Structure formats: C-alpha cells, structure tokens
Amino acid sequence: MKKLFMLLLPVLGLLGLIIFNACKNPDDKTANVANAGLTIPAGFSAVAVAEHLGSPRHIVVTPEGNVYVHLAGTKSGKGILVFHDDGDKLTLKSSFATFGGTGIAIKNGYLYASNNTEVYRFKLNDKNEVVNPNQPEKIVTGLLSRRMHEPKAIALDNDGNIYVNIGAYSNICSDYDPKAKGCPILDSAAGIWQFKVDKLNQSYGQGVHYAWGLRNAVGLAWNQQDNQLFVMQHGRDALHDLFPNLYSVHQSAELPSECMFALKKGDNAGWPYVYYDWMQHKNMLGPEYGGDGKKPADPKYLNPVAAYPGHYAPDGLLFYTGNQFSEKYKNGAFIAFHGSWNRAPEPQAGYCVVFQPFKDGKPDGKWEVFADGFAGPDKSPNGALHRPCGLAQGPDGSLYVTDDQRGTIYKITYKK
Amino acid sequence: MAIKKLAILTVLLLLFFSCLRAQVKPNKPIVHHRKSGSPMARGKIVYNKICLACHMADGGGVPTMNPPLINTEYVLGDKTRLIKIVLNGFKEDVQINGQSFANNMTPHSDLKDRQIADVLTYVRRSFGNKASRVTALEVKRVRAANKK
C-alpha cells in the first residue's frame, strides 16, 4: 500500500496541479446567492451595488466615496459615470466625457481617462469632483489603435508621469513579420510609453518608450512599496493552431502564461519572440522564431515576477493598501481575470478575481482564487453572465470589481 | 476503497497522458484529407481542427473578438467571398450583425479544395444555418482566380 502510494505520488501531485488550475478552491469558500452569486473566502461578503451599466471597464473610488466608472462605449453620449456609494448601492450622480474607453485614474487633483488613441485629464476640486467636465486637457494623442488590443490602460507614478499601454495589433506579429526577420511594429506598439501628466498633445515623439515587447497589458498598477510599475500581460494565442506538430491542444490551452512583470525603464519582455511557460518555469523561444517548445529564450528578455495559466485574460490589477481585509492581503495584488475564449475545445477558464500575496514589493507565494462565480454555470465568453474587468479600493478598504459583460459593479467587504 | 480510488486516478491520468502523446506526433498533418463520409461529416472534422478554436463549437464566435458564423450574410451569402475569406484570411474592419470584431483570421490556403468545400458546406448548414452546399469545383475556380 505504501509502495503504491509512493508510486502514485507524482501522479497525485499532477492531479492536484490540474485541479488547482481549474480556478476553483472548494475548501474554505462559501457559495452564496446572498453574495451576488460570488464564491468568496469565509468572512467576506459581496453585494452587486450597481447593475446594467453597459460595459464598465476600469473604475476608481475617491476618499469621499464617489465612484468613477469608465464605460467601454458611451451611454447617452457619456463615457464616464459618477456614483456615490451609499453602502449597499451606488447612486448615479452624473455622467460626462464624450468618449468611452478603459483607463481611468486619479492623482494629485486630476482625473485621468483614456480612449483608444488619447489620454485626457479633468481638473478636480478639493472634494475630488470634476470641475469642468466639458473641458478636459488632452495630454496624449495619436496612439496607434488597429482593431486588436486597442484599450489604452493607464497608471501614474509619484513623479508626474503617466504610463500608457499600447497593445500589439496582432497575435504574434507573423502578419507583419512573415520572414521572422524582426517584428516591425515594435517601435510604436506592444509596449508601455511614459508621458508627462501636465503636457498637452504629447505623442510618440514626446513620450518615452518605457518598456518593450509586451503584447498587451490591460492591468497596470504602480506599486508604492518599491516605487515600480507592474503590468499584467495577455499572452499569445494559438500555439496548437499555428504549430500543431509542436504543441498539443492541451498545451495550447495552458500555455503560454499570463504574466506579471515588474518593469524598469528599458525592459524588454520579448514579445513576439518569447513566451513564458509556467510549467517549465522559463521564458521560451517562440515557434515563429525557431522555438520548439523546449528551446529557452535569450536570457536578455525580462522574466515575469509571477505567472498564471494561459488565456485567463488579466484585465485589472490593484495593490491592496487598505486596512479592512486581514493582514495577509495588505500590499498584495488583486488581479481581475476576464476569462478565456481560446482554450477551446478544452473548457474555458479564468472569469475570477485572484489574490497574489506580496512581500516587500515582490510576489511571495502561490496565488489563490479570491472571488469566483462571476460567469455562472457557463464559463465561456458567450455564456458567462458576468466577466471581471476593473478593480478599485474604496476609502474604507472595500474592493470594487466591474463586470463588462452585463454591467454589474460588485463591492466586496470583510466582516470581522 | 482508497486503493480503488487510486487505481481510477491512475487510469485517468494514463489516459490523459496518452492523449497528449497522441497529439504531439511530429511531422504529421493534423487534418487528413478524407474522401469517405458525407461532406457534412468531413466538414465537421475540418471545422473542429481549424475553425472551432476561434468560432467556437456552436459557431457563436466570441463577442468583440471573433465573429459568429450564425445568421450572417458573410456565411449565407456570396460563396466566392466566403471561399476567399478561407483562402486569404480576413483582417478588414467590418460590422457583422451590428458588432465589430478585433481579431484577424489567418489564411487557410493550405487546405485542399475539397476540405474547404466540406467545411464551408458544414458551416452553411449547421448552427441553424440553411444555405446551399459549396463544391470542390467552386473552390478550385475561386482559388485559380484568386492567384491571378
């Protein structure tokens, strides 16, 4: 019996891994309709504080309890909704901005918001209310937007800079790089650009090409502990479809990783030449550029600080600095995974909010599913009831999650 | 009891890994050119290997990313245009049933005329679609004109 057990140990380990990666952790979680259908750890509660908002993307909450929600498109011609948080529901106060989009942030008396080609800022008064909603300053303009990976997610540092994601307008650049001689779109896309918060009409010429080789990063956040930009990359698609002889259907579902990168100026994460394999724990040379699933990538490319299973689609990143949640959450990262579409014919996965423990400004330990059940019974892009996208922290330490599928805003609190 | 459970797990895992092995045999075409069976049956095989990953098993596509193949003129209408999409891929910014879609489609000109005919017949007559078949001869003509 003991022998049999020893023999089966690796098998059991693998099985554990597979179960672990199914984005489910049945232990110590309570499924409860009272929690707006979400499965969250014991002691937490969730409420749908707003519903049917259209397609809310990123979100920010002020110290006064006002909530700014950026819609993907416009609703009655307005792209940003303003609510007041009345505890268990959000009350709509006003709406403004003539553009929809994803990015939204508040810093030092301004609200920043992006559409797919530009970034604007709106002056705030001392109550963090927009002073003149019809006259924003256009600080960034002329960014590339070519159908794929258009949203320009943003984050701000403490030194007067704003960071803007410009996603690659292709899966793996092969359309633009048929001879694999060097992807020609990297000078103006697939990276993070840095601009000044207070200069008007900046474009590529005025900005700093801050980080290279990032296919598409929608979750961006500034980590105050080590004063550094963190981003979540959406990994490439279709390893099996494009290279059926090198990658199985299953490998193509699990690979490559969705990656968390801690960026410094000049870093290159390697897209399209490189992808990260979370099972082999290394950067791999992409098959378009001579890779075979075994050859490692050139070590000059940046390694992620944490990696997650393939195609989960990280759309929101938030460092938790509140005091409401228990100590383990302090300074850790919440990640909103929008959920996969390209794991077919295998089951889709993601559609959850993950917690990544941190220590001293770096990921420390295994991630865990924090909130699940957004999708309902059908985890698929068409069948999902809700899909997590944006994250924000309220003044009392509550966590807000947007759903851009049916327009729900969830508020998650911890009851001591 | 425990031994029984372990045995079941082992069998499951062995099956799992044998599947993996079966799928990564090198240098073997993934879609065989089948001549037997009905066009619908053959078309489904091609669909599952080539199209399903993006357009989904039910032909419903993925909102804002990959267009649905259901009830759209692109599928039900002009066969020449449809055949050309398979041969040349698709990266135009168009609205399909009022939605736009972000992802580009890669060309599939490596498929044989008969395979394209089969898969398009399958797509035009599945998911609630009811349109005429596509023949290998039609694909051959479009391919020839496409090369000019």
The three-point CA angle A11-A15-A20 to 5° equals: 150
Q: Residue B23: what pLDDT?
A: 38
Q: pLDDT of B16-52, one tens digit each?
A: 544 443 333 333 456 667 677 899 999 999 999 999 9
- Using a CB–CB cut-off of 8 Å, the residues of A that contact B are 1, 4-5, 8, 11-12, 14-15, 147-150, 170-171, 175, 238, 240-242, 244-251, 341-342, 344-345, 380-382
Residue in A244, A245, A344 closest to B52 by CB = A344
- Taking alpha carbons only, the member of A208, A202, A244, A17 closest to residue A117 is A202
CA–CA distance, A351 with A365 (Å, rounded to integer): 22
Identity of the residue numbered A269: A
What pLDDT is recorded for position A9? 54
Strand-pair partners of A42: none
In a domain, B42, yes or no: yes
User: How many CB contacts within 8 angstroms connect chain A with chain B?
Assistant: 79
* Domain presence at residue B101: yes
pLDDT recorded at residue A180: 83
Q: Cβ contact (<8 Å) for A4 and B100? A: no
CATH number for the domain that contains residue B135: 1.10.760.10
pLDDT of residue B26: 35
* H/E stretch holding B95: strand B95-96
pTM confidence score: 0.87
A164 close to A190: Cβ distance less than 8 angstroms: no
As a three-state string, the secondary structure of chain A is CHHHHHHHHHHHHHHHHHHHCCCCCCCCEEECHHHCCCEEECCEEEEEEECCCCCEEEEEECCCCEEEEEEEEEECCEEEEEEEECCCCEEEEEEECCCCCCCEEEECCEEEEECCCCEEEEEECCCCCECCCCCCEEEECCCCCCCCCCCCCEEECCCCEEEEEECCCCCCCCCCCCCCCCCCCCCCCCEEEEEECCCCCECCCCCEEEEECCCCEEEEEEECCCCEEEEEECCCCCHHHHCCCCCCHHHHHHCCCEEEEEECCCCECCCCCEEEECCCCEEEECHHHCCCCCCECCCCCCCCCEEECCCCCEEEEEECCCCCCCHHHCCCEEEEECCCCCCCCCCCCCCEEEEECEECCEECCCCEEEEECCCCCCCCCCCCCCCEEEEEECCCCCEEEEECCCCCEEEEEECC
pLDDT at residue number A138: 98
Q: What is the pLDDT of residue B10?
A: 59
List residues of B whose CB lies inside 8 A of any A CB: 3, 6, 9-10, 13, 19-20, 23-28, 30, 48, 50, 52-54, 56-58, 60-63, 65-66, 91, 93, 100-104, 106
d(CA A173, CA A113): 28
Note the pLDDT of residue B13.
53
In angstroms, the separation between the Cα of residue A32 and the nearest Cα of chain B is 29
The answer to whether the CB atoms of A242 and B103 lie below 8 A apart is no
Backbone torsions φ then ψ of B9, nearest 5 degrees: -60, -45
- Name the residue of chain B whose CA is nearest to A250's CA: B20
Q: Does residue B70 lie within any of the structural domains? A: yes
Residue B4 in any domain: the answer is no
How many domains are there within chain B?
Answer: 1
- Facing residue for B57 by CB, picked from A149, A238, A345: A345
pLDDT at B137 over 90: yes
Show the domains of chain A with their CATH numbers. Answer: 2-414 (2.120.10.30)
* Both tokens assigned to A128: 């963090």
Task: Show residues of chain B in contact with A251, CB under 8 Å.
Answer: 20, 24
Q: Which value does ipTM take for this structure?
A: 0.75
Closest-CA distance of chain B to residue A271, Å = 18
Angle, CA of A58, A401 and A79, to the nearest 5°: 30
Using one digit for the tens of pLDDT, what is the confidence trace for B75-95? Answer: 999 999 999 999 999 988 888
Q: Answer whether A15 sits within 8 Å of B9, measured CB to CB.
A: yes
pLDDT of residue B92: 87
Give the chain B residue nearest A238 (alpha carbons).
B53
Give pLDDT tens digits along chain A (416 positions): 455 555 555 554 554 454 444 444 444 444 446 899 999 999 999 999 999 999 999 999 999 999 999 999 999 999 999 999 999 999 999 999 999 999 999 999 999 999 999 999 999 999 999 999 999 999 999 999 998 999 999 999 999 999 999 999 999 998 888 888 899 999 999 999 999 999 999 999 999 999 999 999 999 999 999 999 999 999 999 999 999 999 999 999 999 999 999 999 999 999 999 999 999 999 999 999 999 999 999 999 999 999 999 999 999 999 999 999 999 999 999 999 999 999 999 999 999 999 999 999 999 999 999 999 999 999 999 999 999 999 999 999 999 999 999 999 999 999 86
| Two structure tokens written together for A277 | 């394999």
Q: Could you give the CA distance from residue A352 to residue A25 in angstroms, rounded to a whole number?
A: 11
Instruction: Assess if residue B64 is contained within a domain.
Output: yes
At B99, is the pLDDT very low, low, confident or very high (cuts 50, 70, 90)?
A: confident
Q: Which one is predicted more confidently, B12 or A332?
A: A332
User: Which of B10, B12, B24 to probe by mutation at the A interface, max A CB count within 10 Å?
Assistant: B24
Residue B55 lies in a domain: yes
Q: Which residues of A touch B58 (CB under 8 A)?
A: 382
Q: Which of B62, B69, B105 to mutate to test the interface with A (most CBs of A within 10 A)?
A: B62
Residue B98 predicted with pLDDT over 90: no
Q: List CB contacts (< 8 A) between B63 and chain A.
A: 381-382
- Judged by DSSP in three states, B7 sits in helix
In which residue are the tokens 């633009």 written? A176
pLDDT score of B20: 43
- Name the β-bridge partners of A206: none
Q: Is residue B26 part of a domain?
A: no
Domain limits for position B54: 38-147
Nearest residue in A to B62, CA atom: A381
Percentage of chain B lying above the pLDDT 70 cut? 76
Residues of chain A with C-beta less than 8 angstroms from the C-beta of B53? 238, 240-241, 342, 344-345
Question: Would you list the DSSP string of B27-94?
Answer: T--SS----SS-HHHHHHHHIIIIIHHHH-TTS--BTTTB---SS-HHHHS-HHHHHHHHHH-B----
- In-domain check, residue B25: no
- Report how far residue A204's alpha carbon sits from residue A191's, in angstroms, rounded to the nearest whole number: 12
Cα–Cα dist B130/A148, whole Å: 31
